[in-house]
């Protein structure tokens, strides 16, 4: 690894670290702006002012926001996510099992969506201008135009209400066989696959077409290379960086889609936990869940940037 590549990689890591600090600041102070008093919500409207004030003092809500932020960020750096206001137990214990469920859902979705999207994107680029390419383009634009909550709601209406093939709610803890897993994960996975694959198909197609228009690929074609060989031997290795970026960006959209899908299907993941925490103004739980999503997004984007740098032959 030469010095220029190393400096670019280090700069991306530094940018990610600075971004994470800025995001933590934004997450903390955005949650403090939620309407309603946390102590009053926890104790109920019948609570006396003395009881409310005592709870605020016990939870350090009477301190200036900057002091609470510094205490929180120091705790995060030490691996302490704090204590849930509503459940009175460590946030890490609440998140543990839910986080595993969310990773399972995201992993199964990526396992289906990435191969399908890459196959459609690469083949559409190989057959650019054909009827197949036009059909794939129209379908991807149509899917991109439809929000994920509408796809999820339509799936529930069709497959759960009318056809009664699949359960409307996804209880991940009730999986005892492969059939149970397919029934429970079917609609959430299909919904999220629609959400992330359409954008991935378009970005992959564009990256491959841009590489196919380069002089060295055209020279390979003039020398008699077949179209599949031209794509897989000459174009794809040089389009690896943009394709990895497309995959990472699409998977980052998965984080936002998970929040909506887990809520609609009542899937017991970390996104559903965060939504429930908002209703009770459980600030430590909301902040920790939000930081996990932000950290996942930054990891995906930074990894894609580093792979794009390392796979660039001109930089090497």
Among 271, 295, 278, residue whose Cα is nearest residue 31: 278
Residue labelled with tokens 């079917």: 186
pLDDT tens string, the chain, 316 residues long: the values are: 678 888 888 898 999 999 998 999 998 888 887 777 777 777 777 777 787 788 778 777 777 888 888 888 888 888 888 888 877 788 888 888 788 888 888 888 888 889 999 999 988 988 888 899 899 989 888 888 888 788 888 888 888 888 878 777 666 566 666 676 777 788 888 888 887 888 889 888 888 888 877 777 777 777 776 777 777 776 777 777 778 878 887 887 777 677 888 888 888 888 888 888 887 788 888 888 889 888 888 888 888 888 878 776 666 6
Q: How far is CA 231 from CA 120, 132, 211, 236, in A?
A: 14, 17, 9, 6
- At residue 89, the pLDDT reads 83
- At residue 18, the pLDDT reads 92
- At residue 134, the pLDDT reads 92
- At residue 170, the pLDDT reads 66
Beta-carbon contacts of residue 115 (< 8 Å; ≥ 6 apart): none
Q: Distance between CA atoms of 236 and 210, rounded to whole angstroms?
A: 11
**b/e 220-253 (16+ beta carbons within 10 angstroms → b):** beeeeeeeeebbeebbbebbbbbbbbbbbbbbbb
pTM equals 0.79
Among 38, 36, 60, 39, residue whose Cα is nearest residue 51: 39
The per-residue DSSP string of 73-127 comes to HHHHHTT---B-TTT-SBHHHHHHHHHHHHHHHHHHHHHHHHHHHHHHHHHHHHT
Q: Distance between CA atoms of 285 and 276, rounded to whole angstroms?
A: 10
Q: Distance between CA atoms of 269 and 101, rounded to whole angstroms?
A: 5
For 166, the 3-state DSSP assignment is coil
- At residue 316, the pLDDT reads 62
Residue labelled with tokens 């280090």: 10
Among 249, 270, 272, residue whose Cα is nearest residue 260: 272
- At residue 166, the pLDDT reads 78
Tokens of 141: 């634009």
Q: How many residues does the chain have?
A: 316
For 58, the 3-state DSSP assignment is helix
Q: Which residues, listed in sequence order, are joined to residue 83 by a DSSP beta bridge?
A: 90
**b/e 158-177 (16+ beta carbons within 10 angstroms → b):** ebbeeeeebbeebebeebee
Q: What is the DSSP letter of 37?
A: -
Give the domains, in start order, of the chain with CATH numbers. 3-34+81-310 (1.10.3720.10)
Q: Distance between CA atoms of 158 and 58, rounded to whole angstroms?
A: 50
């Amino acid at each position: 690894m030469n010095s220029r590549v190393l400096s670019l990689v280090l700069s991306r890591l530094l940018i990610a670290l600075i971004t994470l600090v800025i995001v933590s600041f934004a997450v903390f102070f955005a949650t403090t702006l939620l309407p309603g008093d946390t102590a009053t919500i926890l104790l109920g409207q019948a609570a006396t002012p003395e009881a409310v004030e005592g709870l605020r003092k016990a939870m350090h809500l009477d301190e200036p926001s900057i002091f609470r932020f510094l205490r929180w960020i120091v705790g995060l750096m030490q691996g302490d996510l704090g204590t849930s206001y509503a459940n009175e137990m460590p946030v890490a214990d609440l998140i543990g099992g839910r986080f595993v469920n969310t990773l399972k859902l995201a992993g199964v979705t990526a396992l289906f969506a990435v191969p399908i999207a890459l196959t459609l994107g690469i083949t559409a680029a190989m057959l650019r201008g054909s009827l197949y390419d036009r059909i794939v383009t129209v379908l991807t634009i149509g899917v991109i135009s439809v929000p994920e909550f509408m796809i999820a709601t339509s799936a529930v209406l069709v497959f759960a209400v009318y056809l009664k093939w699949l359960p409307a709610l996804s209880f991940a803890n009730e999986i005892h066989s492969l059939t149970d897993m397919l029934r429970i994960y079917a609609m959430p996975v299909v919904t999220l696959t629609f959400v992330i694959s359409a954008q991935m198909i378009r970005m992959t197609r564009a990256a491959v077409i841009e590489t196919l228009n380069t002089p060295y690929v055209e020279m390979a074609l003039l020398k008699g290379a077949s179209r599949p060989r031209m794509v897989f031997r000459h174009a794809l290795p040089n389009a690896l960086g943009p394709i990895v970026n497309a995959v990472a960006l699409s998977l980052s959209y998965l984080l936002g889609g998970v929040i909506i899908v887990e809520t609609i299907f009542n899937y017991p993941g970390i996104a559903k936990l965060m939504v429930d925490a908002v209703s009770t103004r459980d600030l430590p739980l909301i902040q920790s869940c939000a930081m996990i999503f932000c950290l996942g997004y930054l990891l995906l984007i930074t990894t894609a940037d580093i792979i794009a740098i390392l796979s660039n032959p001109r930089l090497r």
